[in-house]
Structures are given as C-alpha cells and as structure tokens.
Structure 1
C-alpha cells in the first residue's frame, strides 16, 4: 500500500511538472498579429515589424489600405488584432461602437507633401497647380483617407480647390496616389512625408512639404481590437505599448513623422 502511494505521488508530481511546462510553453509562444495599417505607414511598418520581432519574438502581418475602408471591414468582422489609423477619428469611432479593447492613443503625427517624378519647379507650387501645364493631380479619397481629407483642407486654405477641381484624380488610398505619381500617370500628387523620405522612395522625384498652418495636424491613432483581445491579448498589448517606446518613436521620426 505504501509502495502504491509513493508511486501515485511520483506520478502526480510528474504530471504536475508536465502540465506546468505545457502551460508555460503555451503562454510564451510567439504569436503572429494581424495589423490593419493605414497606407501612409507602409514603409515605416517594415522597420517597426523588425524591431518588435527582435524585442518580443512576435511577428506582425500588416495589411495596408485607407483607414476608412478598414473601419468598414472591422465593423463587419474582419479578423484584425490591432488597427493603426491615419487619424484619431476612425479609432475613436470604433472605440465608441465597442469594437476596441483599448483606448485610442496617438502614435505619430503625419505631414503632407506635394510630390512629382517629372521635371517641375515646386518652389512656386501654388502657381504651378493653377497653370495649364498641369493636367492631373492625385489626391487620396477624402471620404476614406485622412490624408486626402487634409489635402482638400489645404487646397481650400490656399483657395486652389475650385481652380484645380476638374484636374483632381481621386485615389483609393495614399498607396494608390504613390502609384499614380511614381508611374507618371499624373503630373503631381499629394502624399505623406513618410513616403518620400522612405528608403524605398528616396531620390525618386521632387517634393515639397506643405506649410503646417494650411491643414489640421494629422494625429494618427492606434487601438487593440476585440479580435486581438480574444486571440492574442498579450502580444496585442505589447505592440500597442511598443508604439510608445523610444525605439518605435526613433523609427517613426526616421520615417518622417513627428511623435507625441
């Protein structure tokens, strides 16, 4: 009887050790987060992804689109864990509708630039836009892309909106604006500073930054979504926190953003 008890105690101890080991392995496993990323962050995201992997072991899978389109997708059940928006309005909307597991916070401030790959003098860019020499000007859809919304605000500020309205080519996102400009389909395009200073685009064409008093500062917000809370809570929170770290801020600044 004593022998049986000893064997049972040994088995119980062995079982407990194995169970604890399994739980520890499960809790420390590397997750792959699905991140809905505003199109203007596309190039910076590669650096953020690399640094986050180095620090935590977790992978990031970025999907890029206009922020407004992501809102519709998330509301319809798209399985994103984290949403990096191009503004604060869309994250706040999702938070108010109960789709987020965190309070929206600002991770970066974006800037607007006018970009061309053609031989154009951008120093007198307002006069240039009014001239007949310019036939097509790319702008992100102001209804779904915050950078497009602020571009229209800047054009109104300089009283250029009516003068060039017939020549505006609306793109679905900043990514599509970049494609139009880079391919020469349009003469110029309004895009994010983060695009033209990226390693991928440096030296390709000419650009000029728009004065910041002509549009509302583009505060970009991040939230953890309910899907992230339910499927990868620890990794989702880590990435949310990571975006406020010194390393992440340095990456964002290198990519043309101001940081909070």
Structure 2
C-alpha cells in the first residue's frame, strides 16, 4: 500500500509536460541545485523535481515502476541493470568520476592517510552501505587493498547513503569515508584539507564512474540528459570536486 501511495504521489508530478522527475544518487545532492539552475537558464519552462537516495534503492524503485524520467547513478552497475532489463532508453553513459575522502570534524594527522583509521583513538568509522551505495563499495575495496580491514572492521558503522554518511561523520562517528564532492558545499567549507580531510589514494579503489540513463525519452528529458553531458555541466561537476570524462 505504501509503495502504491508513493508511486501515486510521484505520478502526480507529471501532470505538466514541462516537469521531469529525476532520481539522483545522494553524492550529487551538493551539486544538483546549481546544475538545475544552469539548465533552467536555457529551459525556463521545464521544472526538474529531484528524488535523492542510494543508487541501489533508486534502482529498485525504478524496477518496481516508480515514474522517474531520468536516473543519475553513483556507478555504472545500477543503470546498466536497467538497460539490461529494457527499462532504460539506451546504455548508461559516464557523466562524472567520483572520489573518496577521509573526513573528521576534529583535527587529525591526515598525513597518515587510510592508516589513520587503525588508531586506538578512533572507535567509529562511518561509511555508506556497500550493498546499496557505490561509495560504500569503494570504501570497502580501499580497506581491503590497503590491508586495514581486519583492524577496523569492528569500528565500522553503516549509513544508508553517502549523504547520510556525511551526517554520521560529523555527529556520531569519529571519522568517515565520504564523497569528496560533499566537501564543496557551503556547510562543509569549514573543514580544511590536510587538517580535517584528505583524499583516499585513488589507486586503492576502482574509479567511481557515475552513469546516467533516460527512463523516458520525451523532449524535456532529452534536453536535461544532453545538458548533464555538456561542457557547462562538466564545469559545475569540476567545481564540486569531480573528475569529468
């Protein structure tokens, strides 16, 4: 019943042909408002409604009929599964490359990098759930490749999405592995590189290729899809710490 109610609410968003509903991976939450504002400079009559969440949960919603027009995922796996199931209109395309950062609200010796997590002074480490959030998968891969997992596995606390991981990191945890992009939001600028945060060595995890697919192929959706792959959008992604293809 709850699922039907959710789908009904989402469906009512489509009464106007100039409204598109997009499912967006949580790590993009820090950049999406600026992306939409830039898009609306040339598409003033198109309203873009955003639903944020972990890529796994958004994929499940889409497969159960949630009426999204477009999906911006945190990896290629989930949008590829939609294409394989003949739900997406076309194969996924990489729109940005995400990266991991270690963050602490307190000053730490960030020169140690991921080895810092083994410290006896760190009891709780926040990461996104690796079952549903690609950034969580990348964090687990980094732990394994750095040889620290056995030492820290009992310290891990799991968040539903990468945005919730940020919340856990600055409240309940001592430290966390977050999306680097989150550090460029206005509320996070007080945390300083090499004092509160440091990038995770990119050699420790598979590059986080973030994929986009269209679920519908109407004119407004195509326009937003093409915008996300444009130079203007890439400039915004760079501003928020992403690499772009």
**Does the alignment reach a TM-score above 0.5?**
yes
Maintained 8 Å contact 2:53/2:161: yes
Q: 1:141-177 deviations in whole A, cap 9, x for unaligned?
A: 1111000001000010111111100000011110110
User: What is the alpha-carbon distance in structure 1 between the residues aligned to residue 222 and residue 87 of structure 2?
Assistant: 15
User: What is the alpha-carbon distance in structure 2 between the residues aligned to residue 198 and residue 143 of structure 1?
Assistant: 26
Aligned residue in 2 for 1:44: 31
Matched, 1:140 2:115: no
Q: CA RMSD in A?
A: 1.3
Aligned residue in 1 for 2:239: 254
Aligned residue in 2 for 1:189: 176
Aligned residue in 2 for 1:10: none
**Structure of greater Rg:** 1
Q: 1:200 to 1:55 in 2, by over 3 A?
A: farther
User: 67, 90, 95: which one pairs with 2:78?
Assistant: 90
Structure 2 gaps of 5+ residues are 1-15
Give 1:30 shift: 6.6
User: What is the alpha-carbon distance in structure 2 between the residues aligned to residue 81 and residue 133 of structure 1?
Assistant: 46
Matched, 1:217 2:207: yes
Give 1:199 shift: 2.6
What secondary structure does 1:55 align onto?
coil
Aligned residue in 2 for 1:131: 119
TM-score by length of 2: 0.89
Maintained 8 Å contact 1:134/1:187: yes
Maintained 8 Å contact 1:34/1:62: yes
User: What is the alpha-carbon distance in structure 1 between the residues aligned to residue 156 and residue 211 of structure 2?
Assistant: 28
Q: 1:33-88 deviations in whole A, cap 9, x for unaligned?
A: 11100000001101101011111121211111100001111000111110000000
Q: 1:192 to 1:81 in 2, by over 3 A?
A: same
Q: Which structure 1 residue ranges, 4+ long, deviate > 6 Å from structure 2?
A: none
Q: 1:178 to 1:31 in 2, by over 3 A?
A: same
